[in-house]
Amino acid sequence: MLSMEKGIHLLDSGQSSEAAHYFEAVVSRDPKNARALVLLGNAYLQKEQYEKATETFTRALQIDPYDSDSQFCLGWSQLNWARTSRPSIPWKKQCCSTRMMLKLRML
């Protein structure tokens, strides 16, 4: 349990890389530890590693499908992963696309 407590302390103090090492150690010893997976996913979120966070929260939900923290964090990581993995659209093109969508809806 010492690893979890130390990892939580590191995560709370913004040292997400170090915290991730502690949670990874716990998960390697106990792969079905949903709480450690959620904390590891949060460390990945702090590090903006959204793909890893998504995978980790998905694993946590396979163990405990009703955990609301995992559900919320999975959605958050997926949203951020989608935002960062696609190229940005120039404003003018986005604006024109929006106008075109509005015209199509009016027809």
Give the single-character DSSP code of 14: T
Q: For residue 83, what pLDDT is reported?
A: 79
Q: For residue 100, what pLDDT is reported?
A: 42
CA separation for the pair 34, 96 (Å, rounded): 45
Domain extent, residue 55, equals 2-106
Tens place of pLDDT per residue across the chain (107 aa): 567 899 999 999 999 999 999 999 999 999 999 999 999 999 999 999 989 999 999 999 999 999 988 888 898 888 888 877 755 544 444 444 444 444 444 43
Count of the separate structural domains present in the chain: 1
For the stretch 63-77, pLDDT in tens is 999 998 888 889 888
- Would you tell me how many other CB atoms lie within 10 Å of the CB of residue 28? 10
Q: What is the CATH number of the domain that holds 83?
A: 1.25.40.10
- Amino acid residing at 37: L
Is the pTM for the entire model greater than 0.85?
no
CA distances from 13 to 16, 22, 78, 94 (A): 8, 14, 24, 39
